[in-house]
């Protein structure tokens, strides 16, 4: 699940302004789309997984630069403590729902994902692929982000995980951008069994200049630590004011 993103991006210099979310999504939507019935071929026969790269901006940010939603994994058997995109292994029910979405019958809305992933939309108006169904379901289970809040804008070629799984990368954006980053993060309901923390980082951290996944993950973790420290100080200040007021 801990992977480096490989997204198309325009040439920029360090002094140029950050690209807006709208511009980033426009380029992603312009990528050639594969039919839901013909997803990217896997890069491993060990198993399939999918992760969800959720892009958003905040209306109180004048740059409107894209931000990426990230998690830090809980103390699990694999990927413990790693910075990662939400996601996980494909379930048999995901294939049933994807087939139903293509008009092939099967699970319909009776499957576990039928009432969840089916609520998401694709920017191309195509049915969701099985990889998109997996990524949306996992994000809902892990961080409480409902598929109805999302629009799938692109699916990138799969990558090989350190456990030799073929990991599809599904890119989605929020249908409605939040007033602030804090408001969006506070609205999520992460599973404490799978996720230790949910945070965000500028997408540019991973794209400009090109950086290794390890370096980007360390930088993202530093962003999370700074945010938590800031919130801790704000909470202490509020408690101190409360004591003085009494």
Q: Tens of pLDDT along 171-197?
A: 999 999 999 999 999 999 999 898 999
- Quick one: pLDDT at residue 239? 56
Q: Tell whether the torsion through CA atoms of 138, 135, 152 and 18 is positive or negative.
A: positive
Q: What are phi and psi of 119, to 5 degrees?
A: -80, -15
- Return d(Cα 76, Cα 165) in angstroms, integer: 17
User: Among 172, 176, 181, which residue's Cα sits nearest to residue 58?
Assistant: 181
Q: Is 91 helix (H, G, I), strand (E, B) or coil?
A: coil
Q: Is the pLDDT of residue 235 over 60?
A: no
Q: Is 119 helix (H, G, I), strand (E, B) or coil?
A: helix
Q: Is 197 helix (H, G, I), strand (E, B) or coil?
A: strand
User: Among 221, 73, 87, 54, which residue's Cα sits nearest to residue 161?
Assistant: 87
- Quick one: pLDDT at residue 33? 83
Q: Is 20 helix (H, G, I), strand (E, B) or coil?
A: coil
Confidence band of 76 (pLDDT split at 50, 70, 90): low
- Return d(Cα 186, Cα 158) in angstroms, integer: 31
Q: Is the pLDDT of residue 147 over 60?
A: yes
- Structural tokens at position 60: 């109180």
Could you read off the pLDDT of 4-63 as tens digits, one per residue? 444 444 545 454 567 899 999 999 999 988 888 888 999 999 999 999 999 999 999 999
């Amino acid at each position: 699940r801990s992977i480096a993103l490989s997204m198309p991006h325009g040439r920029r210099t360090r002094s140029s302004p950050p690209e807006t979310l709208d511009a980033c999504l426009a380029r992603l939507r312009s990528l050639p789309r594969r039919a839901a019935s013909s997803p990217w071929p896997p890069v491993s026969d060990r198993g399939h997984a999918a992760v969800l790269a959720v892009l958003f901006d905040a209306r109180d940010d004048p740059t409107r630069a894209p931000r990426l939603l990230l998690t830090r994994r809980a103390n699990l058997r694999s990927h413990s403590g790693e910075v990662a995109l939400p996601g996980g292994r494909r379930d048999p029910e995901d294939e049933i729902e994807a087939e139903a979405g293509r008009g092939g019958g099967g699970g319909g809305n009776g499957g576990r994902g039928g009432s969840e992933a089916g609520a998401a939309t694709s920017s191309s108006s195509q049915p969701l692929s099985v990889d998109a169904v997996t990524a949306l379901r996992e994000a809902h289970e892990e961080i409480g982000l409902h598929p109805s809040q999302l629009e799938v804008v692109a699916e990138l070629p799969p990558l090989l995980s350190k456990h030799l799984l073929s990991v599809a990368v599904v890119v989605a954006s929020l249908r409605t951008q939040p007033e602030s980053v804090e408001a969006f993060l506070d609205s999520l309901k992460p599973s404490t069994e799978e996720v230790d923390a949910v945070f965000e980082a500028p997408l540019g951290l991973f794209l400009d200049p090109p950086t290794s996944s390890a370096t980007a993950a360390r930088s993202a973790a530093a962003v999370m630590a700074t945010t938590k420290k800031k919130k801790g100080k704000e909470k202490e200040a509020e408690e101190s004011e409360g004591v003085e007021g009494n």
